[in-house]
Amino acid sequence: MSEPPTDLSGVRTGPLRAGERITLSDPKGRRNSVVLEPGKSFHTTKGGISHDELIGGPEGVVVRSVGGTEFLAMRPLLNEFSVTMPRGAAVVYPKDAAQIVVAADIFPGARVVEAGVGSGALSLYLLRAVGPTGRLWSYERREDFATIAQRNVTGFLGGDHPAWEVRVGDLVQTLGPEPVDRVVLDMLAPWECVEAVAGVLEPGGVVCCYVATTTQLGRTVDTFRAHGSFTEPEATETTVRGWHAEGLAIRPAHASTGHTGFLVTTRRLAPGVQAPQRKRRPAAGAYGADYTGPRPRNIAPHPADADPEPAG
């Protein structure tokens, strides 16, 4: 087996070792994930590549298949591994993981709660950010997803991370009493957890919610506003567009990574402190008669919600 990195960051240096995962890229940029095993071969339509030719050598080399096609051999970066690893649930893509780490201000030594561990992609980024001196409690309702996530994380890191604990169960029902600095919610209904996380989040702490639809976005923002113990939520979306640059041909790439999700970020106020009244009122009809979500405290009830006047 491959020797794990000493700091459990997942970063390996030195010669390629048996048991290590590498990426083989062909001339068209297509990538193949391979675990090196003595005596084995990676087979392609252009012929096989012997693992023994790579084991013991440096990364960043070019190997030639039996059919003559050249492949570049590199250790996978975390962003490459996270989008190709085995999945139980959809993964948080690198562009959103990067935004979460920055928007939630995840720092070395931070105490972080993550809910919705999925396949473990975001957990890897969070563990790198908190380091061995921090703490990451990852909550997952489904035990099969939790098992896949643990396998992915330990496989990439090369061992168990001392800062990580996976808890199977509903966050609201099983959230521990430990005070935390940051909360990251990647789930269908993060608004159901607002009261629970408010009870453990330190004043000034950050909550970052990752949601997929505008309906989830609106419900999450309104719930934080209605709770009153958080700053005005900030909602964002990130898109990434590549560029083609060859000689005088400089243009946007044909493909881009568009919508994958929205981020809602807010901070915890001190106990007993209410958020200041919003200066800008919402547009007329924003909270109509058919609106069933939480109504911010500075928004008057819709006339249709009022009790009917007594007859006579």
295 in Cβ contact with 221 (< 8 Å): no
51 in Cβ contact with 42 (< 8 Å): yes
Please, where are the H alpha helices in the chain? Answer: 78-84, 94-103, 121-130, 143-157, 171-174, 194-198, 214-227
**Residue 78 annotated in ligand binding:** no
**Residue 263 annotated in ligand binding:** no
**Residue 121 annotated in ligand binding:** yes
Question: Residue type for 59, please?
Answer: E
Spatial separation of the C-alpha atoms in residues 312 and 226, rounded to whole Å:
36
269 in Cβ contact with 229 (< 8 Å): yes
**Residue 192 annotated in ligand binding:** no
The CA-CA-CA angle for residues 217, 219, 220, to 5°, reads: 65
Closest CA to 153 of 182, 179, 117, 183: 117
Here the tokens at position 295 are 């109504």
Total H helices, total E strands in the chain: 7, 15
Spatial separation of the C-alpha atoms in residues 296 and 301, rounded to whole Å:
10
Spatial separation of the C-alpha atoms in residues 51 and 39, rounded to whole Å:
7
**Residue 48 annotated in ligand binding:** no
**Residue 7 annotated in ligand binding:** no
**Residue 109 annotated in ligand binding:** no
Q: Which residues are annotated as a binding site for S-adenosyl-L-methionine?
A: 119-122, 140, 170, 186
Q: Which residues are annotated as a binding site?
A: 119-122, 140, 170, 186
